[in-house]
């Protein structure tokens, strides 16, 4: 018997312990005497009277594994299975490449294209073609601003929901929107056609948000968006995303207080997005964005502080990372991004970039050879990944950033750098944010598996 290499142990102020295992995604609580018992078992000692249930629980949670268990091989098999899983399809559908906002860090080049009827029909045909093996269809409605194509979205989502119901396929859908058009009636209409969740961007208090997420007509956007979020939350789940960099990192607490005042506690979840210096699309606003982006280590600290501030105010925040099979659409064979004109991309950061288009929805048999680059992404050839505690919930992270000079350090899940503090926060025993809003001591930026028994990094 030995300890999993994917455990994170932290001690609470009352002397008890929390251990999170990445393979199972479970968080376990142990009293100090139970941890002492675990140390004794790992040293070859007896189980002891009354300890069998604890031992069995820790084995079920993968906190403890058998000596001959090959966790890397298990994760590799999970990755391969997920990468080529015929029972699941994920589609990101661009209903409008145009947008009514002019966000300076946006990585897309905009055009006024709306989803074409022949593209919608080709999407339905693709789902029907693969329906014999499909068990789940996940659709993300995307833009530009997808609600500029609301009519097309509602029609196609309703059709897909009906097609899936007839074929015994589970249909799940969400929309990523700037929130300008997401009023109560719109949210109700979306909910009726299976769109259960909306992600809405709010980047700070009004003076900050209205500058970063500006309307093309120059009108302020914060107040209308918060009003819409409250109305929409009566009909669908709402996730508020704040894209953070040096320009707004100091205003997060103020923003949360305004969301509280807007009556959103208990109605929405909140979370951060890391603005990364992506500039490979010369037509996108991000190619000229000069604001300093946070380093991965800085972002990891801010993420912890934000989670604590949000929880103190009663907001739901992201849970600890659960195990995943693959990191994203780009590396799944059965997932793709479909443009309004039928363009196919594999990476969300490439949406709208003609230079990165790999084909069209009308001819999926002859996609660009770059598809092989995406499907060849393999975290199990990366020594850093193999020695990282975050691997089960990250699986190599962003394939684009990993292959882009200057962005490689951004490929990783933030859990690599803030796993101890994240476990403390999730347990409700985290330390308060530091005065500068960057969180407490993270005991170093980069994580390797933290064990209660020493072993060389990378050893099984």
pLDDT in tens, 334-388: 999 999 999 999 999 999 889 899 999 999 999 988 899 899 999 999 999 999 9
Confidence of residue 446 (pLDDT cuts 50, 70, 90): very low
Higher per-residue pLDDT: 453 or 45: 45
> In the predicted model, is pLDDT for residue 25 greater than 90?
yes
Would you state the pLDDT for residue 442?
Answer: 34
Per-residue pLDDT averaged across 174-202, rounded? 99
Would you state the pLDDT for residue 290?
Answer: 65
Spell out the SS3 assignment of 215-264. ECCCCCCHHHHHHHHHHHCCCCEEEEEEEECCCCHHHHHHHHHHHHHCCC
Euclidean distance between CA atoms 443 and 17, whole angstroms: 18
Reported as a single tens digit per residue, the pLDDT across 118-134 is 999 999 999 999 999 99
Name the 3-class secondary structure at 29: strand
In a domain, 109, yes or no: yes
Cis amide linkage into residue 71, ω under 30° from 0: no
> In the predicted model, is pLDDT for residue 434 greater than 60?
no
> In the predicted model, is pLDDT for residue 405 greater than 90?
no
In a domain, 430, yes or no: no
Would you state the pLDDT for residue 447?
Answer: 36
Would you state the pLDDT for residue 431?
Answer: 57
Percentage of residues in the chain having pLDDT higher than 70: 91
Orientation angle between helical segments 32-42 and 52-60, nearest 10 degrees: 80
Confidence of residue 445 (pLDDT cuts 50, 70, 90): very low
Would you state the pLDDT for residue 110?
Answer: 77
Of 453, 451, 437, 67, which Cα lies nearest the Cα of 251?
Answer: 437
Domain span at 261: 80-293
Per-residue pLDDT averaged across 30-44, rounded? 95
Per-residue pLDDT averaged across 19-43, rounded? 96
Euclidean distance between CA atoms 258 and 260, whole angstroms: 5
Which DSSP letter does residue 295 get? P
Would you state the pLDDT for residue 430?
Answer: 57
Neighbours of 166 (CB within 10 A): 10
Neighbours of 136 (CB within 10 A): 14
Would you state the pLDDT for residue 317?
Answer: 87
Would you state the pLDDT for residue 437?
Answer: 39
Euclidean distance between CA atoms 157 and 175, whole angstroms: 11
In a domain, 184, yes or no: yes
Residues whose CB is less than 8 angstroms from the CB of residue 235 and which lie 6 or more positions away in sequence, other chains included: 184, 187, 188, 190, 191
Of 370, 331, 336, 357, which Cα lies nearest the Cα of 123?
Answer: 336
Residues whose CB is less than 8 angstroms from the CB of residue 405 and which lie 6 or more positions away in sequence, other chains included: none
> In the predicted model, is pLDDT for residue 441 greater than 70?
no
Burial 224-254 (b: 16+ CB within 10 A, else e): bbbebbbbbbebbbbbbbbbbbebbbebbbe
Which DSSP letter does residue 204 get? S
Total number of domains constituting the chain:
1
In a domain, 116, yes or no: yes
Name the 3-class secondary structure at 396: coil
Q: How many helices (H) and strands (E) does the chain have?
A: 15, 15
CATH number for the domain that contains residue 189? 3.20.20.70
Per-residue pLDDT averaged across 22-41, rounded? 96
Per-residue pLDDT averaged across 206-231, rounded? 97
> In the predicted model, is pLDDT for residue 438 greater than 70?
no
> In the predicted model, is pLDDT for residue 443 greater than 80?
no
Euclidean distance between CA atoms 230 and 226, whole angstroms: 6
The mean pLDDT of the chain is 91
Task: State how far the alpha carbon of 204 is from the alpha carbons of 207, 247, 252, in Å.
Answer: 8, 10, 6
Reported as a single tens digit per residue, the pLDDT across 391-401 is 999 999 999 99
């Amino acid at each position: 018997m030995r300890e999993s290499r994917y455990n994170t142990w932290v001690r609470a102020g009352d002397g008890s312990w929390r251990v999170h295992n990445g393979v199972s995604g479970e968080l376990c609580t142990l009293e100090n005497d139970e941890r002492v018992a675990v140390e004794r078992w790992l040293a070859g000692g007896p189980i002891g009277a009354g300890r069998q249930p604890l031992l069995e629980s820790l084995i079920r949670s993968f906190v403890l594994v058998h000596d001959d268990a090959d966790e890397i091989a298990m994760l590799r098999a999970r990755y391969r299975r997920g990468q080529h899983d015929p029972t699941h399809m994920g589609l990101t559908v661009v209903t409008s490449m145009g947008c009514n906002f002019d966000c300076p860090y946006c990585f897309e080049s905009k055009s006024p294209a709306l989803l074409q009827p022949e593209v919608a029909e080709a999407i339905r045909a693709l789902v029907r073609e693969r329906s014999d093996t499909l068990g789940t269809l996940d659709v993300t409605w995307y833009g530009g601003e997808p609600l500029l194509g609301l009519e097309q979205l509602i029609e196609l989502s309703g059709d897909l929901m009906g097609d899936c119901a007839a074929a015994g396929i589970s249909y799940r859908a969400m929309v990523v929107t700037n929130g300008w058009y997401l009023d109560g009636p719109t949210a109700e209409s979306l909910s009726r056609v299976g769109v259960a969740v909306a992600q809405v961007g709010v980047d700070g208090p009004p003076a900050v948000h209205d500058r970063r997420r500006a309307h093309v007509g120059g009108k302020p956007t914060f107040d209308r968006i918060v009003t819409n979020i409250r109305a929409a939350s009566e009909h669908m789940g709402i996730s508020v995303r704040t894209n953070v960099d040096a320009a707004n990192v100091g205003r997060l607490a103020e923003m949360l207080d305004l969301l509280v005042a807007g009556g959103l506690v208990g109605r929405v979840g909140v979370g951060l997005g890391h603005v990364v210096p992506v500039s490979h699309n010369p037509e996108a606003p991000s190619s000229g964005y000069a604001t300093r982006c946070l380093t991965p280590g800085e972002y990891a600290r801010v993420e912890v502080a934000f989670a604590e501030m949000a929880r103190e105010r009663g907001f739901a925040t992201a849970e600890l990372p659960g195990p995943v099979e693959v990191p994203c659409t780009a590396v799944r064979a059965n997932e793709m991004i479909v443009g309004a004109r039928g363009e196919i991309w594999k990476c969300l950061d490439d949406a709208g970039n003609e230079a990165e288009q790999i084909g069209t929805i009308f001819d999926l048999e002859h996609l660009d050879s770059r598809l092989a680059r995406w499907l060849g992404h393999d975290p199990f050839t990366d020594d850093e990944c193999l020695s990282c505690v975050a691997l089960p919930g990250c699986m190599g992270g962003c394939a684009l950033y990993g292959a882009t000079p200057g962005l490689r350090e951004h490929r990783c899940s933030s859990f690599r750098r803030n796993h101890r503090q994240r476990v403390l926060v999730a347990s409700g025993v985290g330390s308060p944010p530091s005065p500068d809003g960057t969180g407490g001591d993270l005991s170093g930026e980069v994580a390797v598996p933290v064990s209660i028994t020493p072993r060389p990094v990378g050893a099984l």
